[in-house]
Amino acid sequence: MKKLELLLVAFAIVAIGGCGGDDALTGLPEVPDLEYGGGDFLQLMDYQGRARGYTVHIPTTASEDVAAPLLIMLHGVGQDAPGLRSLAGIEEHTDDLGWIVVYPDGIDESWAVGTETSADVQGVDDVGFIDRMIDRIDARLNIDRERVFAAGLSNGALMTHRLACELGGDIRGIASVAGAMYTGLASGCNPSRPVPAMFINGDDDDFFPWGGFPAGGGERIMGVLETVDWWAVENGCGSPVTTDLPDVAADGTTVELIDYVDCTSGAPVRLYAVENGGHTWPGRGGIGRTSLDIDGNVEILGFFGASLP
């Protein structure tokens, strides 16, 4: 688990709100009711006897008369929800689109994905927590349950795969950034419906190497192409179409798009392979060389069906 331990150091950010759970928990501070008109709303609930928290961002463009897509943003190990929010900056686009974005916080800045994170060791049920979170948001806001998506970085990327496998009935698409899939999850993954899957990975990522790495207990984090191929087979995809994208920025990177669009399930699979790219969110930053040839947010939202200018 040395790679994941390194992430704890690399992403050392002070946690601002690392809790989450159900409607009423004695001793929790009062939080505002969700309201239209725009704003950030910290929500707390008790789940598994723990205080769990998540921040819901409602743009001024959202309306209670129109069902809005919901985007779940999942941070990495050693990072918290505010840290990912600042790094990704996806609201620059979702605000204009009228999308609601939610930033949940993992336990000890980690998600229980089966790789011996702190959340794993403590027996945290993050799938159940996120499932409950979606239901609570749906009970308070007009969201489109056919357009609930998850995007994650690093350990958060691993969590998107787990959600696709175990909450496929709720999650309509995932975007895995600087992460891959865990063999222990892949061996038992049986989504209840096909899930579109998108990936952005750099081939010079020291934390999630292109070819994968051991994850303990005889399991491993799969390589990038191995993960993409797994989803392509799962979604009944044929051969991919490969395109070299324009090298528009002098940043030392280039991007190859590997697109599986001929999928019998109707759920496409897509990889943005960043040559010389590090452990980053393209267009924004991270650890290592960041590609500016693509805007990761634009590509993610476009894959999820957003109509962008």
- Whether the pLDDT of residue 28 is over 80: the answer is no
pTM of the model: 0.91
The pLDDT of residue 26 is 45
Tokens of 186: 């892949």
The pLDDT of residue 227 is 98
Which residues have C-beta within 8 Å of that of residue 269, sequence separation ≥ 6? 196, 197, 198, 228, 231, 232, 235, 237, 240, 260, 263
Q: What is the pLDDT of residues 189-246, one digit of tens each?
A: 999 999 999 999 999 999 999 999 998 778 899 999 999 999 999 999 999 999 999 9
Q: What is the pLDDT of residues 149-195, one digit of tens each?
A: 999 999 999 999 999 999 999 999 999 999 999 999 999 999 999 99
The pLDDT of residue 29 is 64
Report the C-alpha dihedral over residues 22, 152, 176, 78, rounded to 10 degrees: -110
Q: What is the mean pLDDT of the chain?
A: 91
- Whether the pLDDT of residue 56 is over 60: the answer is yes
